[in-house]
Homo-oligomer: A and B are copies of this chain.
Amino acid sequence: MAYGDGIFETIRVDSGRVAFLQTHLARLKESAVFFQLLPKDFNWAEFCRELDNVIEKIHDGVLKIILVRKYQGRGYRYTTDAGSEIIMECYGGKIPFGWQLDPADIGICSTPCSINSMLAGHKHLNRMDSVLASGEVQEKGWDDGLMCCQTQVIEATAANVFVVQKNSILTPEISVAGVNGVVRRILVSEPSLPVREVPQLTLSDCQNAQALFLTNAAKIVWPVNSLTVNGRIIRYDLTNPTLERVISDFRNRLSC
């Protein structure tokens, strides 16, 4: 796992049902091909059969699939025949949906989000920025924290961020930094929802929002209660109709 040179997926399983498996697998495949992480003759059908066997054993929890390039020796150079390693980790235990949790109290991390247009979007393993930001979140006692590039908000440490302004839902484009999360992918491709990707989401967009919510593949949609900026606490409307519509949309998709 040298140099964080790999990708991963974190997949929610509840009551034996896997949330958005096809979207996860599509992203894994897309990134594996992009980063040349697998031999050309890799058997995806066989991999999916093995995956099914693993999933059968999880009733509630999270399945993590990690795909890393194998290294032979020192340095960054790799041989295309070096192959890769697929690791599957299961973390059991029922995970509450975000909307069942207390809404999140979040802050702004001082660790910047790493910028690289070639890595942006992919769920790769170069996540030292997220780890350091997560350290800040723990130290401050927040539920999560926003990560920025200068004055632009990109994402939370382990979630995408969405801002409700009037009847629109805005989220930053993932073109130079950030992860294109699975729930985010579904949200931006859903024509019935007023989600719009913007080239730049500023901190004032967040401060002036009616509602704010976070998304990831484990908690799905997590409403934000408050955002602390330089000691000032901004509170959001937890009964905002647009936010409620997003939640009910995902409840329907997950039939819960």
A118 to B128, CA, bound (A): 10
> Is there contact, CB below 8 Å, between A91 and B76?
no
Q: Kindly report which residue of chain B lies nearest to residue A119, judged by CB atoms.
A: B128
> Is there contact, CB below 8 Å, between B125 and A119?
no
Of A2-10, A97-105, A207-215, the segment with at least 4 beta carbons within 8 Å of chain B is: A2-10
A contact residues, range: 35 or more
Of A129-137, A183-191, A241-249, the segment with at least 4 beta carbons within 8 Å of chain B is: A129-137
A150 to B152, CA, bound (A): 18
A117 to B177, CA, bound (A): 14
> Is there contact, CB below 8 Å, between B64 and A74?
yes
Chain A residues 60 to 85 lying within 8 A of chain B, measured CB to CB, are 62, 64, 69, 73-78
> Is there contact, CB below 8 Å, between B3 and A3?
no
* Residues on the B chain within 8 Å of A126, using CB: 3-4, 114, 126-129
> Is there contact, CB below 8 Å, between A115 and B118?
no
* Residues on the B chain within 8 Å of A76, using CB: 127, 130-131, 133-134, 157-158
